[in-house]
Structure formats: structure tokens, C-alpha cells
Amino acid sequence: MLRLLSLTVLFGVLAGVAAAETHPFSVHDMLAMDRVAEPRVSPDGRLVVFSVSATDLAKNRRHSSLYLAATDGSFVRRLTSAEASDSQPRWSPDGKAIYFVSSRSGSSQVWRIALDGGEAEQVTRMPLDVDALDVGPGAKFLVFGMAVFPGKTPEETKQALDVKAQDKASGMLFDHLFIRHWDTWENGTRNHLFAYDVAGGKATDLMAGMSADCPTKPFGDAGDYAIAPDGKTVVFSAKDMGNNPSEEAWSTNFDLFRVPTDGSAAPVRITTNPAWDGSPRFAPDGRTLAYLAMSRPGYESDRFDIVLRDLATGKERKITLRADATPRGDRSPSELVWSGDGRELYCTADSYGQHALFAVDPTTGASRTVVGEGTIDGPQSVGGDRILYGMNSLLGPEELYTVGRDGKGVARVTHLDDAKVAAARFGRSERFAFTGAHGDRVEGYVVYPVDFDPAKKYPVAFLIHGGPQGSWTNDFHYRWNPQAYAGAGYAVVTVDFHGSTGYGQAFLDAINDDWGGAPYEDLMKGLDYALAHYPFLDKDRVGALGASFGGYMINWIEGHTDRFKCLVCHDGNLDERMAYYDTEELWFPEWEHRGTPWDNPQGYAKVNPIDFVKNWKTPMLVVHGMKDFRIPYSQGIGSFTALQRKGIPSELLIFPDENHFVLKPANSILWHDTVLAWLDRWLKS
């Protein structure tokens, strides 16, 4: 039975919350929020289906269900409810049913639910988990990914995996890289795309014979491929390393391939750019293929440009997304979609501390900002005149909205977290700018403590972002949320140092081969500026915290200044030389430090925190995940060992079951409790 969430009832709930006592925002509020994701507008534009995930504290995990809403905001319905997770909703072309991926049968398979009622029905019964779902024209076939052994069918792959699982010997033998990636040891399978005949129940491997790794998991999704409007071909992005599979570990060369959906021919490479090509998108008329492309091989943070390929002639045009005409106005889009009439392309990109929505004219290449505030994702056409998108900000989690193509007439579609947001008190945020390294304008945020009193002085949590090519944007973060510190009585300061996204590619490139230079200078100057211009910040009670590159910077700060009362280092490198040999994606350190450690040892030595341990004296909390293969936990243990051997007050919080991120709800609570207790010890006592 579909359940209607009445707006009248919802507003009544909000009024009740407003009248009730509220509380400062905390990690418990963060975990309680429903997370809206994966919106898909119906073919007629009247409805949108999306997934909503919720925390199950008892089971220490999150699970997701599907919801349905009218794009005019008149209703919201829960569409599925299961103990397992339902995700990746996709409309049937006639708009009468929704296909989705669910684990309710014990493995991830495709299910279908009709909008006119009834229970969901299982569509696929593949021997392996399926992922990255899309629906072909007429719903005659589906496309999805499965991880198979090269040269083996899904059935043969499952049999081989079962045999291995029963082997009492646990050793793993490798003869090429990757041997592990992100948080998983490689088992020899490769992610291939399959076309699934719905009527016949047969899956055809569209990548049979390739040595390619189609990035459908663990990081990608159906955005890595596109089905042509006529349903005859699929274009996908993949690496094909040929005779040297180890090159996958140091190459960023993703190319686009075209393959017929009936599997009658092998994939054909259609781009030869030695850098990254991805996110293929067919125009509605099928004549043009848009995709995103980088220019510099080996650089994962190069700017993506939009490329338009005439499919009849093969001719291409490149468009650089621009927020404005200033030298730092170029932007790198992170997603791409055509408008329903093919007159525009919609994309999102970091821009001046926001993640904005842009529209691009494919004929002239001109771009304009449609929505410039907040963090925007999932844009798509609603009818001919409006755009649906998701938006979150420092003041609340993701909800769905629509806006006119001219950027006017913003309307709310969902209100799922209104009551929970109203129950918590947030700190307001403010942007600031100063002159940083190289005389450049650098920007940052100050987040005021909850229940701010201008007559008081507040301790400061100085947060340093990772990446390093990242940004502190106006978003609702589920791990490093400034509101968690504001709710605990801290003022928060962040700085988008050289290397941050959203300020032009030249500003981002400035961090290359200079990790300890301009970024460190920006951080110190930015903190000085904030302390001088916001009198409620207590300069004598400042703690610095960071993860990933931010964790590296904490180790660098430890050896270069004693201005902080305490530090928190999460998943940070201590030894850049050894980090090269420990990590998996070698293209990253090879670009950032201008080569390998044996070809350019000075590139690693000049930015190496381990060489300054002799200067360490500030109390530090070290946090690390043992399943972090990007920055292995030996780096964190090394930092803690140095601190203990030097007699510096220190603690080590280590998670055997977490990767580069802390994802399990109970671990997130422990993380926040431990970090805030550490700050309180040094900044509030």
C-alpha cells in the first residue's frame, strides 16, 4: 500500500517541534537525518522517484527505501519498505513502473514495482550481485554491471568464487597491480557491463574479451555509461590496459567505447585522449554525444571540460565551463545531463565555496549560473520549463527542489527532514576573504557557535579539508560537519587554501609539488585573519583538525608551529616516501610530487612530515581506519609512536572495520565523542 505524507500533517509536526524545546546540533542529529539521493524524474515530468536512507542504530548500518513525489510538491509517498536496501530507481519508458536494485533476495538483483499497486517483483536472478542499473527503450532490455573473471560467464565466476571460499588456505597470490583498492583486496574479477533481455532472462556480456575495468563500482554508477536513444548502442568509459594490467595503478587514461546492445560486435574505442574521458551523455535526438574530458594524463584533479561529439562525422568541440569571465572563473563540472529538449546541458561544479548548478548552451558554449547557493546535485528537466535538483547546505540535509530554467521561481518538492532540522539549533555561517600566498585572494568560512553570545570568547576548531583538491563548501557533511563543533560550543574556521576546488584550475594546480608551501601559508594567514576580524574567537584556545590531506597537514603543522593547543590527525601521511609504496593509486603521488621517489627523491623529501618529528610538542589525537588502503594505518601508528616516544600527550583511536571514512553509525558516534572530548580537554579546561 502506498502511503501519502500529507503536507498538512507535516506542517502540524513542524509547528509542534517549533513549540517544543530544541537542542544544539550534535552527531545524533546528523545520524538521524534521512538522506535523500538518486532522484529520477518520470518521462512525463509529473513525478520523481528517489531513495531515502535511514540509520538503524540497533543493526549499526543504514538501509534505504524508495519514495515517490509529485514534482509540484503536492505529495510524497513511500514506495517500498524492506529490511534490505532498495536503491537505483529507474523509470520504465512508459512511466508506469519503476525498476530498482534491491538486496531483499539475499543478493543485489533488479526488481520492478508498478505504480498502480501491488508488491515488487523480482526481475533478475543472476548468480552475482548487479549494480549500475539502467533501462533500455521500451524496457525490452536492462543494462547493469557485474564483476566477472575475464573470459568467464557470471555462472562460471560464481562457481570459481565458491570454490575459493571453501579453500582452507587463505593466501592470495598476485602478479600485477592493483593488489587492493580503497578498502578491498582484489580477487581478479573485473566490472563488466551486461545487457539483460527482460523477456528471455538472458544476460549478454558487452565487454567480453576486454581486459577493461569499467568503473561501475566501488566508486562509479550508471553515470559511467549511456544507452543511445534508439537503444542500439551503449557508450561507456573504461580503462583498457592491454598487455600491462599493472599500468592501471598509475594511469588515469579512461577512454570511451561504443558497443551494440545485442552483443553482436566487440566494443570499439571512440576516444584516444590519453587523459580521463567519462560521463557520456546522448542528446535527446541521438545525434550528439556530450562527455567530460581532462587534458593532462596522470592528473586526477585536472579540470574536466565538456566535449560535444557529432556522431555522424566524429568531429568534436570543447567547452570550458565558466562561472564568470575572471581569470579564476573556469570550473570543472562533476556531472552532466541534457535538457529534455536538447537546447541546454546542465552540470554542477564547486564555485566560490558553493557547489552550484550551471546551464550550458551547446551551440555557443556560453554558460550561466542557475542556482548559486548551497550544494546542488542530480539536475534534470521537469517538462520543458523547469529543472529538478537536490540541495543541501550548512543549515540542513538534502531536499528536492525545482527552479525555472531562468533561475527564478524556486519551489520545494520534499520536506522529509524539516521536523528534525527544526528540533536542532544550528550555528550561522559567514564567508571571509584575505590575501594569501602568491598575493592571491583566498576565501574561507566562519561558523558561529550555537547560541552565540557576542560578549563571550569561544574556543576555535580549525578544520582542514582533504583531497587536497577539495573545498569547504556550503554543504551538510555526514562526517566533517562544522555544525557538530558549533553545537558543542566551538567556533569553526575553515580556509580554502591553494589547491582547493572552485576558484579556477590555476589556483588548484598551485598545490602541485608544494604541499608544505602555499597551502600551509594560506592556512596560517587565514587563521590570523579570522582571529583579527572576529573578536569572539579566542586566539589562546585553538585546535586544528584534518583528515586525509588534512591529516597530512596536521603532521606538517606539528613540526612547524606550536601555535595550537591541540591537534587531531585523521588518516594522515607521516612519511611521504613510504606512503608512495603503501598506497594503491600511484598516479596521485607521482603527479603531486613530480615523479617516483627514486626518480625525484627531493620532491618527496621537501614535503615530508617525518623529517620534522624532532620539533613535535603539541598534544595530538591520532585516528585511523585499518581498512584504509589509500593511507594505510601504519602511517597513523607511526605518528602515535613518535608522539609517545617523545612524551607528548597523545591518544590513538583506531577502527579495525573502517576505511578512509568512518561510516558505521556506532563508530561515527564514538569518533565524535572522542574528538570532542579531546578538544574539550585542551581547549575548555
Q: Residue 37 gets which letter from DSSP?
A: E
The b/e string for 119-145 (b: 16+ C-beta within 10 A; e otherwise) is ebeebbebbbebbbbbbbeebbbbbbb
Other beta carbons within 10 angstroms of residue 102's beta carbon come to 23
Would you state the cell numbers that stand for residue 161, as one nine-digit string? Answer: 568464487
Residues 6+ apart with CB under 8 A from 560: 516, 520, 612, 615
| Cβ contact 262:286 at 8 Å | no
| Cβ contact 556:613 at 8 Å | no
The three-state DSSP-derived secondary structure of 561-574 is CCCCCEEEEECCCC
Helix ranges (H only) for 267-367 are: none
User: Domain residue spans in the chain?
Assistant: 1-123, 427-683
Three-class SS state of 593: coil
Q: Residue 448 gets which letter from DSSP?
A: P
Whole-number pLDDT of residue 278: 96
| Cβ contact 234:207 at 8 Å | no
Query: What letter represents residue 193's amino acid?
Result: L
In angstroms, rounded to a whole number, what is the distance separating the alpha carbons of residues 550 and 304?
24
Start-to-end CA distance of the chain, whole Å, equals: 55
| Cβ contact 650:642 at 8 Å | no
In angstroms, rounded to a whole number, what is the distance separating the alpha carbons of residues 491 and 498?
23
User: Strand pairing of 650-655 and 620-625?
Assistant: parallel
Whole-number pLDDT of residue 219: 39
Would you state the cell numbers that stand for residue 72, as one nine-digit string? Answer: 509540484
Dihedral over alpha carbons 528, 529, 531, 536 (to 10 degrees): -170
| Cβ contact 196:143 at 8 Å | yes
pTM of this structure: 0.95
In angstroms, rounded to a whole number, what is the distance separating the alpha carbons of residues 227 and 256?
13
In angstroms, rounded to a whole number, what is the distance separating the alpha carbons of residues 402 and 350?
20
| Region 427-683: CATH code | 3.40.50.1820
Mean pLDDT by 10 residues, the chain (685 residues): 34 43 97 98 98 95 96 96 90 97 95 93 98 96 95 97 97 96 95 96 92 54 90 94 88 96 95 96 98 98 98 96 97 96 97 98 98 98 93 98 97 98 98 98 98 98 98 98 98 98 98 98 98 98 98 98 98 98 98 98 98 98 98 98 98 98 98 98 95
Whole-number pLDDT of residue 216: 46
In angstroms, rounded to a whole number, what is the distance separating the alpha carbons of residues 333 and 305?
7
Question: Nearest 5°: CA angle at 279, between 277 and 282?
Answer: 115
Whole-number pLDDT of residue 16: 44
In angstroms, rounded to a whole number, what is the distance separating the alpha carbons of residues 298 and 573?
21
φ, ψ at 400 (rounded to 5°): -100, 145
| Cβ contact 184:218 at 8 Å | yes
In angstroms, rounded to a whole number, what is the distance separating the alpha carbons of residues 378 and 596?
38
Question: Nearest 5°: CA angle at 320, between 310 and 230?
Answer: 30
In angstroms, rounded to a whole number, what is the distance separating the alpha carbons of residues 80 and 64?
9
Dihedral over alpha carbons 563, 568, 570, 574 (to 10 degrees): 50
Residues 6+ apart with CB under 8 A from 372: 351, 354, 356, 357
Residue 491, burial from CB neighbour count under 10 angstroms (0-12, 13-18, 19+) = buried
Three-class SS state of 412: strand
